[in-house]
Structure 1
Amino acid sequence: MSQQRMKSALTMAVLSMMYITQAQANTSESTVNPASGQTERVVLDTIVVTASGFEQDIKKAPATISVLSQEEINKKAYRDVTDALKDVPGVVVTGGGSSSDISIRGMGSAYTVILVDGKKVNTRSVRPNSDNAGIEQGWLPGIAAIDRIEVIRGPMSGLYGSDAMGGVINIITKKSATEWNGTIKLDTTLQENQDSGNLYQANAYVSGPLIENLLSLKANGTFSQRQEDDIIGGFKKQKMRTGGATLSLTPNDLHTIDFEYQRSIQNRNGKVGKTIEDKAGRNGPATDSYSDYYRTDYSINHRGELGRVKTQSYLQREETKNPSRNMEAVNTTFNTINQIELGPHNVSFGGMYLQEDLDDKGNQLLIPGKEPISSLDRSSWALFAEDTWNIVDSFNVTTSLRLDKDEKFGSHWSPKVYGVWSVNDQWTVKGGVSTGYKTPALRATVAEWGQATGGGSSKGVIVGNPDLKPEKSTNYEVSINWDNLDNITAGVTVFNSDFKDKITEIRHCSGDAGRLDCDWLGEQFDFVSLRENVDKANMRGVETTLTWQALPTVNLTANYTYTDTEQKSGKFKGKPLNQMPEHMFNTTVDWEVNDTISTWSRLNFRSKTSEYLSRTSMSKGKPAYAMVDVGMNYRVSDHVQIAAGVYNLLDKQINQDTYDFVLDGRRYNLGMTYKF
C-alpha cells in the first residue's frame, strides 16, 4: 500500500471520529436524583475477560476489544453468531449462502479462534478444504443463553495458542442464577422472494438453584431450520439442533466447579436443480448433497481462590463427526491460568495440554503393499506467563511470553508487549507488539496422506509435507480513545501485521480434467498439489469507532474500517492476499420511543473487494454493496416482548453471477421473547 493511500486512510479515520460510532467502551443507565428529581446518566465500566483470562476494565485491557452486549444481541434477528458480528469493526463475514465464515483484520477464517466461555471450538479438521464453511458458528449456544460476545482484533497466541493470529471471538454465556428464571425466544423469517427459503428458530434457556448455596443448574436448547433456496449457490436446507446443561457446585464462597455437557447436530442438504447446478462432472451426472455433522462437548471447570491466587482450570473433551465423509475428530484439552497481585505487578501464569486424534477414511494415496493411513494424532503442551506492571497510576505495561512444544514442530515462543496510558479521565492511549502462530493441520504434514480435491469436475489430490513449519505473524498497533464522560466515546486504531511462512498450495503437476496425466506413488490424478511455506504478506489498516447519545432516547453507533493486504513474496508478489473490502462502514440508530416501544435502523456498507489468492491462482474482486435493515421492539409486559424487522429493506440483489455467492433479498422477521 502506498504512503499516500495510508495517509488518506488515516485522514478519513480521524475525520470519522467526528461523525461516526461503535460498541461503547462503557455502558450507561439512567437514575433519578432524589434531590433534584432529574433523570441522570450514570456511566458504568465495561468488564471483559478475554484479553487476560480474568476480569478487567475494557479501558485498561491490553488489546483492541469490541463487546456486543445481551441487549444489543436481543434487538435483532440472528441466524447464528456470524450475523451478530457484522457490525464489529475489522470483522468481515465472507461468502454467503451456506458458506459464510469470519475474517478479522485481513486474515482468513482459519486464523480466528472461537471460544465458548474461554474454551476453544476446534472442529475444522472434519471439513477439510474449507468444506461447508461456517459449521463452527453452528456449534455455539443459542442467543437466549448468551450474556455477551467479546471480540479481540489482532494476535492472541500468547494466551490462546495456535490459530489465534487474526483474533479471538469469545461467546460468554449467562451465569447460573440464584433464583429460577428462564427465556423462550421464537422467531420466523419470511422471504419476499419465493425462491429463497424461510427460516424458523426457537431458543430456550433456564437457570436456577437445585440446592440453595450449593448446587445450581442452567440448561439451553436451540432449534433452527432453513428451507432450501431455489437458487444455484444459495442456502441449502439447514437444520441445527443444540442442547446442553451445566451443573454448578459451590461448596463455599471461594470455589465453583462446573460440569458441562453440550450436544449439537447440523444437517445441510442440497438438491440438484435447486442450490446445486445440474452439470455433469468426472463422476457422471450431478447428485444431491447430504452433509451431517455431530459435536459433543464435555468439560469440568474450576474457578476459585487459593490464598492470594485466583485460579481457573478446565478439562475438555470435544468429539466431532462427519459421517457423510467418514471423519471423526477427538480433542482433549487441559488448561489452567492463575493470577496473583504482587505490589504493582499483576502476574498471570499457567499451562495447556492438547491431544488431537483424527480418523479419516478419505486418504487418496493407496500405496501398494501398505494399508492406507486412516488415523492421525498429535500432542502438544504450553507454558505461559504474563505480568501487568502498574508503573504509575496512569500507566501500565503488560509483557507476556508463551512456550509451545509440539511433538512434530518442536518449540515456539510467542512474546507480547503492550502499554496502556490513561492520560486523564477522558483520554486513553494503547499500543503494543503481539505475535501469533498457527501449526499446520494434521493431514498437511503426513507425506503418505492425500486429501481429495477438485470437486466433481477433476480428480485432484493435495499431498502432505512433513517439512512444513508453523505460520507466524507479528502485529503492531496503537489506539487513541476518548470518552467525554457524558454522551460521546470515540477511538482510532492503526495496525500493521507482518505474516511469514504462509502455507501455500503449489501445483506439482496439472493436466486436463478426466485425463489422469499426473502420477503420484503409483496413483493417477488430473492434478497433484503440495503445500509449502513460501509466502510472506502484510496486512495493515485503520479502525475508527464513535458512539453518540444524541438525545436521552436516541443513540447513534457506527464504525469505519480500512484494510489493505499485500503478498510480499512468491509467484503473486505485490498482489492482495485475501478477499477483503478496502472500506467498511457500519452504523446503527436506536430510538427509545417510550417505555414500551423502541426502534432501530442499520446500514452495512462493503466496498469493492480486492483481488485475492484463492488457492493456486488470483481471483477477481467482487463489487461493492450496502444493506439497510430496520426494526422495532414492543414490550407487551415485564415478561413478553415482540420484535419485528425488515432486513435488506432496499432489496439489494447479491447473486452467484456477480458476487460468486448469494445473500438474501428483502425479508420480514417476527419474533417473541418470553421471560419468566
Structure 2
Amino acid sequence: MKKKQKQHLVSLLVSGAVLMAGQTAFADEQEFSMDEYVVTASRMPVKKTETAASVTVITREEIEKSGAVSVPDILNRTTVTMQNDTTASVPTINGDVRVLVLVDGREVNWKGGGMHMGQSGANLDYLPSVDSIERIEIVRGPASALYGSDAVGGVINIITRKSAEPVTRYSAEAGSWGLRRYNLTTENKVGDFSYRINFERKSQDDFHYNSGYSGNSDATAKNTALDQDKMNIRLDKDLGNNRSLSLTVDHTDGRKGFNVMPDYQAHVDSGGNTNYFTHSVQTYVENNVSLTYNWNQGDKANSFVRLYRNYFTYNYDNHPDDYQIPDYYFNGRSYTNQADGAEWQQTWQINERYTLLGGASWRQVTADSAEYDIDVPAYGYYQAGYNYTDKKISNRAFFLENNWRLPKNWSVTAGVRYDDYTLFGDKTTARITANRELNQTTNVYASWGQIFKTPFIADVYGGGFMIPNLNLKPETGDVVTLGLNTRLAEGTELQASMFSSRLNDALDYIVVGYNQYQWQNVAELKRKGLDLSLKRRLSPQWQALLGYSYVKVEEQGATQREEINNNEPHGYRLGLQYEQDKWNANFTLRGATGRDTRAFTSSDYWVADLGVNYKVNPATRVYLKVYNLTNEAYELHGSYGDASNLTGLYPMAGRQVVFGIDQRI
C-alpha cells in the first residue's frame, strides 16, 4: 500500500477515535418500522429514501405468498440472475458472480472456487430453510469498503426470524421425478428467552429436461438425484437495556449425483469407455455456528460483537460399476474448507446530523484437499492429484464510515476500509455516496466505490481439474452508480439504476492441458448496465411487477469467455399476483435475449412459473406449483471455454408439478 494511503487511513482512524471518546453511544430507544429501513447497504438501519443504492427487500409476507421453498426460488422473482447447473446455484448481480452472501450479516461464502462456481464462492443450495427467513435484502453494486472482498457485484443478506410466539407447524410436498420434501418448525418465546428450531428433509430422483441440443423434450439428466437434510437453530436472550445475545446453528448434509455432461456429449473411445460418470456420488456436510452480542438495538444502529465458524466438506466418489469406465480414469476427490472469524461493529451518533460507523474483523480460512491420481495407460496419460493440507489465508480488517445528513435533504457518506492478507498483502478501499431525498417517496443518488477481490484458496493451491497458481493477484477496480427510487402514484413504485465498472487483473480459468485448467489474471473487464423495476397495484386483488436489466461486458485480455458466457445480456421479469378471500395465486415469467450461441443452445429463453394457494382454514394451506410451465429448453450456465466447447452442457429442469400442504398445529 502506498505511503499516502497509509497516512490517510491513520488520520481517519485517529480522528474517528477522538470523536468516539468525546461522545456517548445512542441513548434512548426509538421505535421505527423495519419495513421503512434497510440495513445491508450501510451496515446499519437507514431509511430507504436516504439510501444511496439500488436495494430490493423481500418480506416474509411476500415469501409466504410466493410459495417459494428455496432461496434460488425466491431470487428468481427478482432481477438477480441465477447460474444453475447440477452442482451449484450461483447468484449474479449486475452481470457479476462476485456476490457476497450474508446470513444475519455473517459472511457464508465458502470460497471453494472451481470451474462451475467461478469467482462466486456462494452456493445458495446450502442456505437455511426458507421457513427460517424473515426477509432478504439485495444490494446492487460494490461494497468492498464496507464488507471487504467478494462484495463486487452486490450483497445478498438473508435475515432469519426471531421467535415471538409459540408455534409449531409442518409442511409436506410431493412432485415430479419423485420429489418429496418435509419441513417441521417449532418456536416459542418464554419471558426474555426465545427459540426456533427447523428441520427439513428433501429427496428427488434424476430430473428431466428439454434438450436444446438434441431436441429430446423429455431427456433424463442421469445421476442428478438428491437426498438432503437441513437443521437450523436460533436461540435469543434479551439481556435488557437494548442488549441481547443470539446463537445460531445451521447444518446441512446431503448426497447427490455428480453429473458431468449429458449422454449425447459423452466421449466414447474404441473400447467403449466414456467420461460420463453415471454412478458418481457427491456427499457434503456444512456446519455453521455463530454467537452474537448486540447492543443499542432499535436505535437505528447496528452494534455487535460476533464469533463464528463456517465448516464445509465434500467428497466426490466415482463408482464406475458396469458403465464401462476404467477404474483408473478418475476415482475421486475430497475437499474441506473452514472459516473462523471474529467481528466488532459499533455506531456512534455524534450529533443529530452526523453518524459514525466503525468496526474491525479477523478471518482465517483453512483448506485441505486430497485427490487420486489420474492414470490412463491406453492414452499414455498420467496426472498426479493436487494434494495439500492445512493451507491458510488470514485477514485483518478495519473500517470507518461517516454519514452526514445535510440541509435540503441531502445525505453524504464517505468510508474507508483497510485489509491485510497473509498471502496477498494489504489494500485500502474507499467509497463515497450522495443522496437527495426529493420528497417522502422519491430519492436520487450517486455513488463511487472501489473494488477489491482476493482469489480463493482453491484458486491458488489447485484441486480437481485445477492446477496451482501461487502468483495470483487480487482483482481491483471501481464502480460508478446512478439511481432513482420513486412512487409515481398511489400503489406504483419505480426503481432505476445504471452502473459502469472497471476490473483490473480479472481472474479467469484457462485450459492449459488435457483436462487441466488454471486460474490466471488475464484481463481487464469493463461492465456497464442498468436495472429497472416497476411495481403496480392494479386493484385490491391484483398486483403486477415488471423488471428489465441490461449488462454489457467488454474484456481485454487472452480470452472473451466471460462475455460469451453472459447468460442475460437483456433480462426480463413479469410477475402477477392475485389475492381474493382464501385464494392466492402468482405467475412469473423470466426471459433473456441477446445470448451468444457459442455458449448456449439458444440466444433467448422464456420460462413461466405458476403457483396457486388455498387457505382451507386459519391453520391449513394447500398449494400447487408448476415450474417451467411450457417445458422450455434452456441453460443458465454457459459452456464456452469448457473442454468440449459444446452447448447445452448444463440444462435446466423441464416442467415440474408440485403439490403441498402447510399445517399449523
TM-score range, shorter chain: 0.7 to 0.9
**CA offset at residue 263 of structure 1?**
1.3
Match of 2:168 among 182, 196, 208: 182
The equivalent residue for 1:319 is 311
The structure-2 alpha-carbon separation of the partners of 1:270 and 1:232, relative to structure 1 and needing over 3 Å to count, comes to: farther
Residue-by-residue CA offset, 1:267-323 (whole Å, 9 max, x unaligned): 112589987976547995544110011011121111113999852121001111113
Three-state SS of the structure 1 residue aligned to 2:168 is strand
Whole-Å Cα distance in 2 between the matches of residues 137 and 575 of structure 1? 21
Aligned to 2:619: 639
The answer to whether 1:75 aligns with 2:65 is yes
Identify unmatched segments of 5+ residues in structure 1: 1-42, 191-196, 454-460, 511-525, 612-617
- 2:149 corresponds in structure 1 to 162
Q: CA deviation at 1:471?
A: 0.7
Aligned-pair distance for 1:492? Answer: 1.7
**Could you tell me whether the CA contact under 8 Å between 1:506 and 1:530 is conserved in 2?**
yes
Kindly provide the CA deviation profile for residues 425-450 of structure 1, in whole angstroms up to 9, marking residues without a partner as x. 342101111222211122433xxx55
Match for 1:408: what amino acid? L
TM alignment of 1:233-632, pairs within 5 A = 233=221, 236-269=224-257, 279-280=267-268, 285=274, 286-287=276-277, 288-305=279-296, 311-324=303-316, 325-343=333-351, 344-362=353-371, 373-445=388-460, 449-453=461-465, 462-465=467-470, 467-484=471-488, 486-507=490-511, 510=513, 526=514, 530-567=518-555, 569-572=556-559, 576=563, 578-593=565-580, 595-610=581-596, 619=599, 622-632=602-612
Q: Percent identity?
A: 21
Structure 1 residue 365 displacement after superposition = 12
C-alpha distance in 2 between matches for 1:636 and 1:64 = 38
What is the rounded CA distance, in whole Å, between the counterparts of 1:70 and 1:107 in structure 2?
A: 27
After TM superposition, the structure 1 stretch with the greater mean CA deviation from structure 2, 579-588 or 131-140, is 131-140
Given the superposition, is the C-alpha separation of residues 575 and 48 from structure 1 closer, same or farther in structure 2, using an over 3 Å criterion? Answer: closer
321-330 vs 289-298, which moves further: 321-330
Q: Is the 8 A contact 1:473 1:497 kept in 2?
A: yes
For the residues of structure 1 that align with 2:315 and 2:372, how far apart are their CA atoms?
Answer: 15
Compute the displacement of 1:389 (Å): 0.4
Q: RMSD across aligned C-alpha pairs, in angstroms?
A: 3.3
Alpha-carbon distance in 2 for matches of 1:283, 1:439: 43
Aligned mates of 2:505, 2:202 — CA distance in 1: 40
Instruction: Identify the residue that residue 194 of structure 2 maps to in structure 1.
Output: 216
Q: Distance in 2 between matches of 1:619 and 1:633?
A: 38
1:140 maps to amino acid: L
Deviation string 1:525-575 (CA, Å, 9 cap, x unpaired) is: x476554323101111111111111112211111111111110x2134698
> Contact 1:399/1:415 (CA < 8 Å) preserved in 2?
yes
Q: CA deviation at 1:61?
A: 2.0
Q: Do structure 1's residue 103 and structure 2's residue 111 form an aligned pair? A: no
The Cα of 1:79 is off from its aligned counterpart by 5.1
Quote the offset at 1:649 in angstroms.
2.4
**Contact 1:364–1:452 (Cα < 8 Å) also in 2:** no
Judge conservation of contact 2:599–2:647 (CA < 8 Å) in 1.
Answer: no
What residue in structure 2 maps to residue 56 of structure 1? 46
Structure 1 window deviating more from structure 2 (530-539 vs 305-314): it is: 305-314
Aligned mates of 2:122, 2:439 — CA distance in 1: 45
TM-score (norm. length: structure 1): 0.79
Tell me which residue corresponds to 1:113: 100
Q: 1:78-123: per-residue Cα shift (whole Å, max 9, x none)?
A: 452112111222x211244454422111113xx1111111111132
Letter of the structure 2 residue corresponding to residue 144 of structure 1: D
AA partner of residue 216 (structure 1): S
Which secondary structure does the structure 1 equivalent of 2:49 belong to? Answer: helix
AA aligned to 1:361 is A
Q: Give the deviation of 1:170 after TM superposition.
A: 1.1
**Residue of structure 2 in register with 1:22 after alignment:** none
Q: From the superposition, tell whether residues 365 and 625 of structure 1 become closer, same or farther in structure 2 (CA, over 3 Å).
A: closer
- Does the C-alpha gap of structure 1 residues 297 and 68 become closer, same or farther in structure 2, counting only changes over 3 Å? same
Task: State the secondary structure of the residue aligned to 2:76.
Answer: helix
- Compute the displacement of 1:500 (Å): 1.0
| SS in structure 2 of the partner of residue 444 of structure 1 | helix
CA distance in 2 between partners of 1:359 and 1:153 (Å):
33
Cα pair 2:77 2:573 within 8 Å, conserved? yes
Contact 2:162 2:234 survives alignment (8 Å): no
Once residues 263 and 185 of structure 2 are traced to their aligned partners in structure 1, the CA distance between those partners, rounded to angstroms, is: 34
Change (3 A) 1:92 1:124: same
Unaligned runs of 5+ in 2: 1-32, 209-218, 317-332, 376-385, 640-645
Q: Distance in 2 between matches of 1:82 and 1:219?
A: 22
For the 8 Å contact 1:320–1:328, the answer to whether it is kept is yes
Matched to 1:489, the amino acid is E
* 1:560 and 1:585 in contact (8 A); partners too: yes
The 2-side partners of 1:372 and 1:651 are apart by 43
Find the partner of 1:226 among 158, 181, 204: 204
Please tell me whether the aligned partners of residues 635 and 641 of structure 1 are also in contact (alpha carbons under 8 angstroms).
Answer: yes
For residues 492 and 397 of structure 1, what CA distance do their matches in structure 2 show? 20
Q: After TM superposition, give the deviation of residue 472 of structure 1 in Å.
A: 1.6
Offset of 1:338 from its aligned partner?
Answer: 0.7
What are the superposed Cα offsets for residues 197-252 of structure 1, whole Å, 9 maximum, x if unpaired? 23221223222124x12x22111111111211364546700122110222222221
The amino acid that maps onto 1:491 is Q
Contact 2:49–2:440 under 8 Å retained in 1? no
Alpha-carbon spacing, 1:82–1:284, altered in 2? closer, same or farther (3 Å): same
Closer, same or farther: CA 119–271 of 1 in aligned 2, 3 Å = closer
Q: TM-score, normalised by structure 2?
A: 0.81
* Counterpart-to-counterpart distance in 1, 2:515 and 2:224: 29
- Is the 8 Å Cα contact of residues 141 and 220 (structure 1) preserved in structure 2? no
Structure 2 CA distance for aligned equivalents of residues 574 and 94 of structure 1 = 15
Distance in structure 1 (CA, Å) of the matches to 2:394 and 2:121 = 26
Change (3 A) 1:414 1:182: farther
Q: Is the 8 A contact 2:95 2:568 kept in 1?
A: no
The residue type equivalent to 1:65 in the other structure is: V
The alignment partner of 1:228 has SS state of coil
- On the 8 A contact 1:477/1:494 being kept in 2, the answer is yes
In structure 1, give the amino acid aligned to 2:407: V
Paired residue for 2:138? 151
Distance 1:356 1:276, change over 3 A: farther
Rounded to whole Å, the distance in 1 between the matches of 2:173 and 2:161 is 21
1:18-43 CA distance string (max 9 Å, x none): xxxxxxxxxxxxxxxxxxxxxxxxx9
The residue type paired with residue 61 of structure 1 is T
